[in-house]
Amino acid sequence: MLHLVNKSPHDGCNLDTATSIMKDGDSLLLIEDGVYGAIKAGKAASLLEGRSVSVLGPDLAARGISEDKLVDGITIVDYAGFVDMVTASDNVQSWL
């Protein structure tokens, strides 16, 4: 399953719920305000440990978040990469 989180981890529980439901083999893509969850120094960084996490590059750039600020091991994708992540998973769960 591909999990999409589009809100900041400081705004509600979407990232907490998503990471609590994720199974081994699932992927997480942070989009829109969800990209703030990818920041190494942030409280959500620990939620991402051990998980397959990607972040949408255009949303990072829009928010002025440079790559060096991100948690280690995270993959940055563009919209084409987003599409590929959807086709590579069996289904998609949007944590709205």
Partner 1 sequence: MPETKKLMYINRKAPYGTIYAWESLEVVLIGAAFEQDVSVAFMDDGVYQLTKGQDTTGIGMKNFSPTYSALGDYEVNKIYVDKESLEERGLTLDDLQHLVWEDEDEDYAEKDSIRLVSRAELSEVLADQDVLFNF
Partner 2 sequence: MKFTIQVNEGPYQHEAADTAYHFARAALDKGHEIFRIFFYHDGVNNGTRLTTPPQDDRNIVDRWSKLGQEHDIDMVLCVAAAQRRGIVDDGEAQRNGKDATNIAPGFRISGLGQLIEGGIESDRVIVFGD
| Six token digits for residue 88 | 């590579």
SS3 state of residue 31? coil
Q: Name which of residues 23 to 52 contact partner 1 (CB under 8 A).
A: 23, 26
Q: Which of 36, 39, 59, 95 binds partner 1 (CB under 8 A)?
A: 95
Binding test (CB under 8 A) with partner 2, winner from 1, 16, 26, 33:
33
DSSP-assigned states of every residue in 43-61: GGGGGGTTSEEEEEHHHHH
- Taking the least distance from each CB to partner 1, the nearer of 62 and 92 is 92
* Residues 2-21, interacting with partner 1 (CB under 8 A): 13, 17, 20-21
Instruction: Tell me the backbone φ, ψ of residue 91, rounded to 5 degrees.
Output: -155, 170
